[in-house]
Amino acid sequence: MRKFSLQLTPHNQTTQEVTLNEGEDYLLIQLSKFNTDQFLNAAIKIGEHQTLQTAKCTGFVKFNVFGSSSFQLNSNLAGNDTIEGEINMGSWADMMLVALSKNLNFFYQSCNKDESINFQIGLNDYANLMVTSPDAQHYELTRKLITTDARLGEKKITVLKTSDTGKLIEDIYQQIKKNLQDDNFTKLQQQQRQALQQNMFEFY
């Protein structure tokens, strides 16, 4: 999992080409400065073949770069317009956790009461993410997603606790425990649970 800062201006509208490492299958770009009528383009290469993906600027912009060798970002800016933010690169699990860590309060949360890490983001009957600790060295992430025929499918991945992803899981868990100690937060979750259809877990 890697991250870089992003700054595009009318005089510098294209980033340098970034070579992708193995396992960097997705880009998640958190924009801190943008206009809602702006677009961000990703020129993605697989060997010598290049494709272009375009996304409207929002707080989070995502691109699927699975199997690609490199990418460049650009936008068509004029006047004093700028686009600023942070580019994150990694697996679906990495990017999902990065997005959760930056926007956790939007999602329904639950966790166990003991000291071992075990939590769930989302409701049981909808798309969700469950994190458990099967042994002293690893976390297991189980992602439920809604398939095209409206059934729940599953995808699992195991990560080392000492990895960047493992440390991110620990940070999220600590924030969940803190949130669930706040009576106002838990009341708000109950009020919103029907509205929060966990659309982020259709993320990839």
**105 & 191 share domain:** yes
What DSSP assignment string belongs to 108-159? -EEE-SSSS--EEES-TTSSEEEEE--SSSEEEEEEEEE-TTS-EEEEEEEE
pLDDT per position in the chain (204 positions), as tens?
A: 899 999 999 999 999 999 999 999 999 999 999 999 999 999 999 988 999 999 999 999 999 999 999 999 999 998 899 999 999 999 888 998 998 898 888 888 888 766 677 899 888 877 788 999 989 999 999 988 776 666 668 889 999 999 999 999 999 999 998 888 888 887 878 776 766 555 555 544
Give the chain's end-to-end CA distance (angstroms, integer): 16
Q: Which domain holds residue 190?
A: 100-202
The residue among 57, 90, 123 that closes a domain is 90
Query: Is residue 33, in this structure, part of any structural domain at all?
Result: yes
Query: Is residue 95, in this structure, part of any structural domain at all?
Result: no
Alpha carbons 76 and 97: distance in angstroms, whole number:
30
**139 & 198 share domain:** yes
- Partners of 90 in the β-ladder: 26
What is the reported pLDDT for 131? 94
**121 & 173 share domain:** yes
The residue among 90, 119, 137 that closes a domain is 90
**Beta strand 60-64 with 138-146: parallel, antiparallel or unpaired?**
unpaired
**48 & 119 share domain:** no
Tell me how far CA of residue 160 lies from CA of 25, 141, 182, in angstroms: 19, 11, 30
**76 & 123 share domain:** no
Alpha carbons 181 and 185: distance in angstroms, whole number:
8
State whether residue 109 is helix, strand or coil. Answer: strand
**120 & 198 share domain:** yes
**71 & 110 share domain:** no
124 Cβ contact partners less than 8 Å away, ≥ 6 residues apart = none
pTM: predicted TM-score of the whole model, two decimal places: 0.81
Helices 164-180 and 92-103 cross at an angle (nearest 10°) of: 30
The residue among 90, 114, 131 that closes a domain is 90
CATH number at 76 reads 2.60.120.1300
**86 & 126 share domain:** no
Instruction: Please give the tally of structural domains in the chain.
Output: 2
Alpha carbons 20 and 4: distance in angstroms, whole number:
13
**192 & 107 share domain:** yes
On the 0-12 / 13-18 / 19+ scale of CB atoms within 10 A, 82 is middle
Q: One-letter amino acid identity for 32?
A: S
**55 & 115 share domain:** no
CB atoms within 10 A of CB 192: 12
Alpha carbons 196 and 127: distance in angstroms, whole number:
11
